[in-house]
Structure 1
Amino acid sequence: MSSILDLPAELLLRITEHLPFHSIKTASLTNSQLHKFLQPLLFKCLRATNQEEDEADIRCVIEKYGREAEMLAFELHLSPGEGDDDSLYNVGNESEDSDRESGPQHRLTTLARDLLSGQLLRDISEVRLKFMPADDFEGEDWGDDHDLGGIHIHEDHETQDDVSEREQSLLWRRIINETYQALASRKGVKKLELSKVVPRACSTFYSAEWQGFLGNVEDLHFSLWGSSEDSHSNAVPGYLDFCEDLNDLFFTHLQRLTKLTLIADPGNPMGMNGGNHHLPTPIRPSDMPKLMCLELENFFVEPALVNFVRSHSKTLASLSLKNCLATSTYSDSGRYSWTSFFGALRECHPMLDTFTVTNERVPLTQDEQFHQGNTPFVPSDDEPENVKLIRKQVLENPNLRLWPYVYLDDKYGIVYYCEEDNIEAFEAGEDQAEYDAWMRLVASNQNQP
């Protein structure tokens, strides 16, 4: 009987490259010969953390399979509390009383620093860094004088001097700075993913080394942490400060970037700056002159986004909007419709040949908006007739879309959908008509030589 191992090596490699990771892992357990053949795929990504208990396992993997690694996926665990000046280097010396009171004190181990900086696995060109705060920043001791966590971690304005002082007094702030500092010294990173970025500046952001590091990145995936418990992050000054500074700290330095994925926190969407609790879109027309692909999630459509597309009309080939929103008649920023957005895009005459817009939910009733749980919302039989008709039309015609309109609560910053605007926009048909006209322009660009 023929074996899969009888296939030519090149063909076998092409087949396995298209398999999901769990299938590759299962296949590698079949026999030692196949396991050895699949090692480059199995250990393409090295996963590491700054937790001391993981260090021995990570070193073992590096010694055996480090030569196969092309990507570093690093999880930075953070814990609350203060620390003395030597706390970063005294790993494992916490007292039992300290452990009982506040749990383990996560630090940046020597191994973690060497991995991030490129002292180990220096040929890696792709880095994923995910921030993992204990209890998602809930609880006490995240600030000076035992301040609470949540939105309070970015409650106050901070100057550059304030940032430096916080790094001296708060261990988790110091660890974040040390992490970015180590990463900035790594050479050859072309693809960078920063996941759940903590919305506080650090000293490294102001350094020439950090700016130079960003200047060589070609593909950036950036998502921002935010709190949606009770009051939202967009209701406190420090969060707004950080969002306003994002351009100077990150995006203005990305001179070689060709692809950007930018994800705002779903409870704290970005865009339409000027209204109560609205956060600025952090990219400017002069940024990223080589950008070809832009993916945005949890943003407001707005004139600033149109201006960015206009400034990149000769280079931008693909634009994707996921769970993006328009401001309703109740918004402090004023209503900016999907009709206005698509019409303004058409006037830019961009060379875009790919455009997608997707929304996971566009509520038509309050019951739908406030539905909770893991089960899909099921409309009741007593819904208004016009709502029933809309649902029927969307179900029968896949080309029809629902367009979401929202406003932010003027006190807590909570995102509320405006069911009336959602219904009226669909019934008026203007958003749909302008979207169809825009998509015809995109389609015509696909036929350009």
Structure 2
Amino acid sequence: MPLHLTGLQPELLLTIADALGPDYTGLLDDDVQPKYDANGDRASDRDCKRKYRESESQKNILSWSCTSKYFRALLSSYVFKTVILRNDEKSGASIDVISKHPDLEYCVREIRFVGYAPGDARRKDPAFGDTEHILPQNVTHLLSNLGRFRNLETLSIEFDYDFGDYREWEEEGVNPADEVEDLEEIRRKEGQEAWRALMLKVWEAVCSNDGTVVRKLAIERLYYKEVSAFTTPVFHQFLSNLEDFSLSIYGGDNGAGWETKTCEIWSAFVAKLDEFFFDHLQRITSLTLKATEEGPIGLEGMNHASLALRPDHMPHLKIVHLEYMFLSPELRDFLVGHASTLEEVHLRSCLAETDDSMAEDGLHWHELFDAISSARPSKLQIFKVTQERPASLPESKRGYDKFDSKVQDENETTLNAEIEQARETAEAREKRVWPHVTVDDKYGMLFEDEEENFLSFREGRDQEAFERLMSIVEGNAGGNEMLVDVRDSRGPKPQEW
């Protein structure tokens, strides 16, 4: 006898829904095609793949929910788990309908706000100067009254800027010549430029909520232009009630090669993240901080920005995710300062820069690992170090200036044999190559420091320090956790160590 889906228990149907949409995170969004940044490069591959998976999952769930009233009611908790709100009246009206329907607003766990304002429209679009209507009243009302969604947990905010073509993007977007603005200049531009006004109006609306309405705040691709709201007591009060905070910083280049890290305004903005955010996150237990390859955070010097995290920040912190950070004294002190509370540490695409020609006080990997071990982190059960691709080793001695200065007395044939053996060992994953980089003094580009990779690999101190730390972590976790993986660019499966 055939079995109809409607004859299955609801719990089994929801299990099937999970299988159909494991990456589902929101209402169907039209914007799922890969984007291109101003210099024609694809947007983050991970972002594109995530959006594609979300779109496919959304289509499955939405199609299924349209087959009958029974499935519509059953799957509403999936369809409306995350809703996308934009700064236009149509979007505001749609979400307003959901907020007034008791069976739907109850399902909403996350509101993802995506704000758009043209960046190059000063010359082409009269809406560019329309700061008054850049955030419609119905959208403002929704952002100001998030308590209407009884089960809301997460508010995600992202501003999608269109900086136009190369020339206009350089003028309006990533521009190394941009000067740091004082508060008077910031407020003047917020009154004249729609994209600056949009940021201000959104944060003013969000901060008018009761502080306990949102458990998690996720700020995606935050552009490094200061918003006057960031220094207000009401904004800081809102932050003080959060339990989970996630922040990613905008990165890129100006189309001519100069990367984000060459901009004085970027380094000045990043250095004030404590004043804007970190000083006020007293209650959070989970922190995510993401930078980009064009703008890793940490160390002081040309084309660098110091990490504004301190040991006294976030006293209850249990979980930390950091991406594209330089190993720095500030990073070390922050992790060591939370040794008594941390349960998980995730380091993705973090890098050591020990060549002091561009920055001072760079740490070796073994210095970071040994510092954490010495702090005896009694609760740390997960420690993951992930790279987008494995670090490289040189093919031979020839052509490397650092070899000429550090190993000039060694026989070239013998050294080349050691290099070949190291490459074979690393490829067999018997030993980890810990990544070191240098920073270009003009454009700010990262270059892999293959010589330092090899010298550190041969010395072995990084690996030994890592294993000492792992013995502590494994003891805390009972030896059941995967502790390190390396993302190989040739495939999606991580290498396990």
1:408–1:414 Cα contact (<8 Å) kept: yes
**Structure-2 residue corresponding to 1:247:** 274
Shift of 1:434: 1.3
The residue aligned with 1:360 is 388
Match of 1:197 among 219, 222, 243: 222
Aligned residues: 412
Q: CA deviation at 1:343?
A: 1.5
Q: Tell me what 1:256 maps to.
A: 283
In structure 1, which of residues 128, 134, 153 is the aligned counterpart of residue 156 of structure 2?
128
Alignment partner of 1:265 out of 283, 288, 292: 292
Query: What corresponds to 2:340 in structure 1?
Result: 314
Picking from 198, 201, 216, the partner of 2:241 is: 216
Deviation of 1:36 (Å): 1.9
Structure 1, residues 98-127: CA drift from partner, whole Å, max 9, x if none? 539979998212222122222684432311
2:186 touches 2:226 (CA, 8 Å); kept in 1?
yes
Q: What SS does the aligned partner of 1:410 have?
A: coil
Q: Partner residue of 1:226? A: 251
CA distance in 1, matches of 2:356, 2:388: 22
- Show the counterpart of 1:181: 204
Q: What is the match of residue 69 of structure 2? A: 32
Residues 311-390 of structure 1 aligned to structure 2 (within 5 Å): 311-329=337-355, 331-334=357-360, 335-351=362-378, 352-361=380-389, 362-365=391-394, 388-390=420-422
Taking a change above 3 Å as real, the CA distance of residues 259 and 136 of structure 1, as seen in their structure-2 partners, is farther
- Secondary structure, in 3 states, of the residue corresponding to 2:443? coil
Aligned-partner SS, 1:35: helix
Quick one: distance in 2 between partners of 1:388 and 1:112? 61
TM-score, structure 2 as length reference: 0.75
User: Which residue is 2:181 aligned to?
Assistant: 158
Q: Does 2:81 match 1:49?
A: no
- Deviation at residue 431 of structure 1 after TM alignment: 1.2
Q: CA deviation at 1:355?
A: 0.3
Name the structure 2 match of 1:281. 307
1:2 and 2:3 matched: yes
Structure 1 stretch displaced more, 384-393 or 187-196: 384-393
Conserved 8 A contact 1:154-1:199: no
CA distance in 2, matches of 1:185, 1:308: 31
Per-residue deviation, 1:402 = 1.6
Query: Quick one: percent identity of the two aligned structures?
Result: 28
Contact 1:328 1:418 in 2 (8 A): no
Worse-matched range after superposition: 333-342 or 210-219: 333-342
Q: 1:73 aligns with which of 108, 112, 121?
A: 112
- 1:410 aligned partner, one-letter code: D
1:291 equivalent to 2:314? Answer no
CA distance in 1, matches of 2:147, 2:177: 34
How far does residue 435 in structure 1 lie from its aligned partner after superposition?
Answer: 0.9
Superposition pairs of residues 384-423 of structure 1, within 5 angstroms? 388-397=420-429, 399-423=430-454
Q: Does the 8 Å CA contact 1:317/1:353 hold for their aligned counterparts?
A: yes
Give the CA deviation at 1:280. 1.1
**For 1:278, what is the secondary structure of its paired residue?**
coil
| Distance in 1, Cα, partners of 2:219 & 2:374 | 34
Secondary structure of the 1:148 match is helix
Which residue does 2:30 correspond to in 1? none
SS of aligned partner of 2:288 = strand
Q: For the residues of structure 1 that align with 2:125 and 2:183, how far apart are their CA atoms?
A: 32
Are the counterparts in 2 of residues 150 and 227 from structure 1 also a CA contact under 8 Å?
A: no
Which of the numbers 213, 222, 236 marks the counterpart of 2:263?
Answer: 236
Deviation string, structure 1 residues 21-65 (Cα, Å, up to 9, x no partner)? 324344334443222211111111111111456455555655664
User: 1:245-275 deviations in whole A, cap 9, x for unaligned?
Assistant: 1101101100110000100122110112x22
1:17-28 to structure 2, matched below 5 A, reads: 17=18, 19-20=20-21, 21=24, 22=57, 23-28=60-65
| Equivalent residue for 2:191, pick from 165, 168, 171 | 168
Give, in angstroms, the shift of residue 385 of structure 1: 6.0
Question: Which residue number in structure 2 is paired with residue 377 of structure 1?
Answer: none
| Deviation of 1:193 (Å) | 0.7
CA distance in 2, matches of 1:324, 1:303: 14
Report the 3-state secondary structure (helix = DSSP H, G, I; strand = E; otherwise coil) of the residue aligned with 1:308.
helix
Evaluate the alpha carbon distance shift between residue 350 and residue 41 of structure 1 in structure 2; reply closer, same or farther with a 3 A threshold: same
RMSD between aligned alpha carbons? 3.0
Specify the code of the residue in structure 1 equivalent to 2:224. Answer: P
**Alpha-carbon distance, 1:4 to partner:** 3.4
Q: Which runs of 5+ in 2 are unaligned?
A: 25-56, 396-415, 480-497
Q: In 2, Cα distance between the equivalents of 1:100 and 1:162? A: 22
Contact preservation (8 Å) 1:167, 1:174:
yes
Q: Distance in 1 between matches of 2:146 and 2:459?
A: 61
Indicate how the Cα distance of structure 1 residues 269 and 355 shifts in structure 2: closer, same or farther if over 3 A, else same: same
Mapped partners of 2:272, 2:250: distance in 1? 15
- CA distance change for structure 1 residues 17 and 114 in 2, over 3 Å: closer, same or farther? farther
Matched with 1:372 is none
Counterpart CA distance in 2 for 1:222 and 1:205 is 14
8 A Cα contact 1:262 1:295, kept in partner = yes
Query: SS of the counterpart of 2:245?
Result: strand
Amino acid at match of 2:175: H
Q: In the superposition, relative to structure 1, how do residues 51 and 152 fare at CA in structure 2: closer, same or farther (>3 Å)?
A: farther
Q: Which amino acid aligns with 2:7?
A: D
**1: CA distance between counterparts of 2:335 and 2:262?**
29
2:20 equivalent to 1:16: no
* Contiguous gaps of at least 5 residues in structure 1: 84-96, 367-383
